[in-house]
Amino acid sequence: MKGLMMDYPLTTNIIIEYGNRVFSRKEIVSKLPDGSWHRYTYGDLYKRTKKLSNALINKLVVKQSERVATFCWNHYEHLEMYYAIPGVGAVCHPLNVRLSIDQIVYIIKHAEDKVIFFDATLAPLLEKVAPQVSPDIKYIVVNAPTGFKTSIPNVLNYETLIANESETFEWVKVDENDACGLSYTSGTTGDPKGALYSHRSTYLHALTVMTPNGANISSNDRVLLVVPQFHVMAWGYPFVCILAGADMVFPSMHLQPDALIDILQKEKITIANGVPTIWMGVYDALKNNPPKEKLALKEYIVGGSALAPSLTRSFEKDFGLKGTQAWGMTETSPLGTTSRIQKIHENLSYEEQLKIRSKQGYELPGVELRAIMEDGKIAPRDGHAVGEFEIRGAWIIASYYKFSDNASRFSKDGWFKTGDVGTIDENGYMNITDRSKDLIKSGGEWISSMALELALMGIPKIKEAAVIAIPDDKWVERPLACIVLKEGETITIEEIRTALSNEFASYQIPNSFVLLKEVPKTSVGKFDKKEMRRLHAIDQLK
């Protein structure tokens, strides 16, 4: 028997309608690429989004299900695209501006984008891409200064495009399972692969991220969206914030630590997201130039790579700022877990609590996790049995977009294989020891590169550390630690080995170290181990 409840499709249109109805005076602030500030409200967003939807249909002739790409920083115009494109039944496809030209060309061709909205400051990059992709693509420039010139063909100005369009528009009717967004993986292994989000998955993900066990965002918050809108759709925050009625602040390309601190202070930000490298930079900058007043920041949410306990501790002790770790992937929309301590942990010491918070956390309602051991059995939730994590749920991909080898990434019973390895404990906390491809097998024993990195970054003189496996005649593989020292510091190998010896068996401690100026990073700011392995193979890292 069917329930007798309304059929109410969960779509992105529902989100923006809700924001306009209930929170129309909430603020959206953008620090634009030229350094100027733009401020308007949810109500203004709503009207301009409708104008853009009209333009998409009337001027750009975008049809339902077609892909419309964005090549933009984080700002209000990009937010308008996030709602206007799905509003006409099309698919919003943010392109990662930090990928190589070849990868960007590959992705545009694979997605068959019909239109590309781009920031004027990114024109020099897109000029290299445009001759290599379909000549039928229409280009729209945003934030163009007067006299803007480019070799990109068919360029229209965003403001001219929407200027004479009506502020009324009836959203194109879609099924909640229709696609609304497309994100490609950052392609550290093979070609980038597309995760095609549905309206329903986007809505349910946003609703869950908003909850206290998730990112805990409400209408009292002012949120700084540091994660690029081209990285897993800014972790879904453009949808989360409007559902929550939170003010939103967009930094566009102003992501340097001092610029972020300035925004945190001036805009009285209460919640911000970002990868660990962003927060490492912010911490160092605060340390060099301590703020006169305590920041309003209640919590910074970190994901994309492990949050080192040493960083969490230093931020809390020095500035009273709380870091919360989350785990997810492009394929999981992205939020899968958040690491928060609970009532059962309240009597533990600070360091014991920190140990728990340094795990990746427990899964949010709507997703399920399991770890599969080498023998194919599900690992018991005992904090010891190691396996590869598999995940399923309402906002987890069921297959990649137009991809022939889906079978290898899913279990026979349909769970997505994450490629991350680790344990789940009796309270449900996932603890990642590595990406499976980054684990080091030395003399038949596994060594966790991630555990070594976190411990190395806990040594006060070390700023960054990344560990990769290198071939070894005797042990097959050995860890190589690549280290960046804090300014003005020196260190001996013996000091490092002694510091590691409390936590690690001697066979786990690296014998080989290299000192770097900077650890190579991926397009989304993670340590680029593929590049480090390549540099090592060609003798540049020895």
Q: Which residues bind ligand AMP (CB under 6 A)?
A: 185-186, 232, 303-306, 325, 327-330, 334, 360, 418-420, 432, 435, 524
Q: How many residues does the chain have?
A: 542
Output the smallest distance, CB 420 to ligand AMP, in A.
Answer: 5
CB 115 within 8 A of CB 132: no
**Nearest residue to ligand AMP, scored by beta-carbon proximity:** 330
CA trace torsion 92, 96, 101, 106 (10° rounding): -50
Nearer to ligand AMP, 130 or 379 (CB): 379
* Strand-strand pairing, 512-515 and 476-485: parallel
CB of 160 to ligand AMP, least distance (A): 36
What b/e sequence results for 247-279 when a residue is b if at least 16 CB atoms lie within 10 Å of its CB, and e otherwise? bbbbbbbbbebebbbebbeebebbbbbbbbbbb
2 catalytic per annotation: no
For residues 77 and 434, which CB has a smaller minimum distance to ligand AMP in the complex? 434
Which one from 37, 446, 503, 542 is the annotated catalytic residue?
446
Considering the complex, state which of residue 159 and residue 316 has its C-beta at the smaller distance from ligand AMP.
Answer: 316
Q: Where are the beta strands (DSSP E) in 408-516?
A: 416-424, 430-435, 440-442, 445-447, 462-472, 476-485, 512-515
Task: With beta carbons less than 8 A apart as the criterion, state whether 339 and 361 touch.
Answer: yes
Structure tokens at 324: 């919360």
Closest approach, Cβ 98 to ligand AMP, in A, equals 12
Min dist CB 250 to ligand AMP, Å, is 20
Measured CA to CA, the distance from residue 5 to residue 356 in angstroms comes to 41
Q: Which of 12, 49, 70, 185 is catalytic?
A: 185
Residue 231 exposed, middle or buried by CB count within 10 Å (0-12, 13-18, 19+): buried
Residue 19 near residue 42 (C-beta atoms within 8 A): yes
Known catalytic membership, residue 441: yes
Q: Which is nearer to ligand AMP, 310 or 330 (CB)?
A: 330
The residue (of 53 and 216) whose beta carbon lies closer to ligand AMP is 216
133, HSE (Cβ side, Cα atoms, 13 Å)? 28
Omega prior to 238 cis, within 30 of 0: no
Q: Minimal distance in Å, beta carbon 534 to ligand AMP?
A: 19
362 CB contacts (<8 Å, ≥6 apart)? 337, 338, 339, 427, 428, 429, 430
Catalytic residue of the set 66, 176, 331, 363: 331
Give the C-alpha separation, 377 to 414, whole Å.
Answer: 15
User: Long-range contact list for 373-379, CB < 8 A, 24+ apart?
Assistant: 379/423, 379/424
Q: Cβ 215 to ligand AMP, closest distance in Å?
A: 13
Nearest to 249, CA basis, from 74, 12, 117, 72 = 74
Least separation, in Å, of the C-beta of 72 and ligand AMP? 19
Tell me, yes or no, if 171 is annotated catalytic: no
Q: Are 92 and 182 in contact (CB under 8 A)?
A: yes
Active site (annotated) includes residue 12? no
Which two tokens mark 197? 């989000």
Residue number, 77 or 363, with CB nearest to ligand AMP = 363
For the CB of residue 32, give the shortest distance to ligand AMP in the complex, in Å.
26
What residues are annotated to the active site?
185, 331, 441, 446
